[in-house]
Amino acid sequence: MKQFEDPRLAATRKAAIEAALVILKSEGVLAVTYASVSKATGISRSTLYRHWPEINDLRNDTFKRAARPENKSPEPRTNGPLKADLMWLLRFLLTALNDTPWGKIAPQIVAAAAQDDQARAVINLFMQERITSVKAVFEAAADRGELRDTVDIDQLADLAVSVLYFRKLFAGQPIDETWLAEHVDTLCELAVAQ
């Protein structure tokens, strides 16, 4: 009877993914190969194949590792007023995109998602998590009676997050403090009771 998993399995997994993450950050998805990870870790190529039969399996595990927990949304502030809470949370998302490795990693996952269902699932889950955290901010504002009663909170949360990523990854427009302030103003104008 095997009660416990061979500790070598976990050690190999961790070392490989950790090294793959470094390569992912510095050189992109395509540089995450069996050979490069093998060289970086000393783990033999055949062992890597046994753990991850296809290269996308390894890459997707690296994506999952990258998507948590440092890069996840923090517990949002929900003390109010809405504008302050929104500014705080969206500034975190903006900083993550502009000034942390996540700004390099996210596009890599998006790229992989175009070809791979698993990668698509990773990026979808991550984005849902971002939207949910923003939604919590709006819901708290609604509980405090700050919002108009006609507003659709799901729509608002979608709007708040999507423009950030769209400008960064699709439109090539800057997302800086100046823009963020205007963006939050627009959202509040839409949401807050006059």
Residues at the contact surface with a copy of itself, assessed by CB under 8 A: 28-30, 107-108, 110-115, 120-121, 123-124, 127-128, 131, 150, 152, 155-156, 158-159, 161-163, 165-167, 169-173, 182-183, 186, 189-190
Q: Does 11 bind DNA (CB under 7 A)?
A: yes
Among 40, 47, 104, 159, binds DNA (CB under 7 A): 47
Q: Does 117 bind DNA (CB under 7 A)?
A: no
Interacting residues of 36 by C-beta distance below 8 A, sequence separation 6+: 23
192 forms beta bridges with: 147
Q: Does 149 bind DNA (CB under 7 A)?
A: no
Among 8, 75, 99, 115, binds DNA (CB under 7 A): 8
Quote the distance between the C-alpha of residue 29 and its chain's center. 16
Nearer to a copy of itself, 43 or 163 (CB): 163
Residue 54 binding: pick among a copy of itself, DNA, none (C-beta 5-8 Å cut-off by kind):
DNA
Interacting residues of 153 by C-beta distance below 8 A, sequence separation 6+: 135, 138, 139, 142, 147
Give yes or no for a contact between 12 and 52, defined as CB atoms under 8 angstroms apart: no
Q: Does 115 bind DNA (CB under 7 A)?
A: no
The overall longest dimension of the chain from CA atoms, in Å, is 69
Interatomic CA distance for residues 79 and 81, integer angstroms: 7
Site stretch for DNA (CB under 7 A), options 17-25, 49-57, 126-134, 171-179:
49-57
Residue 110 binding: pick among a copy of itself, DNA, none (C-beta 5-8 Å cut-off by kind):
a copy of itself
- 66's tokens: 């990258």
CA-nearest of 54, 45, 43 to 19 is 43
Interatomic CA distance for residues 42 and 15, integer angstroms: 10
Residue 33 binding: pick among a copy of itself, DNA, none (C-beta 5-8 Å cut-off by kind):
DNA
Nearer to DNA, 54 or 182 (CB): 54
Interacting residues of 179 by C-beta distance below 8 A, sequence separation 6+: 167, 173
Q: Does 49 bind DNA (CB under 7 A)?
A: yes
Residues that bind DNA (CB under 7 A): 1-4, 6-9, 11-12, 33-36, 42-47, 49-51, 53-56
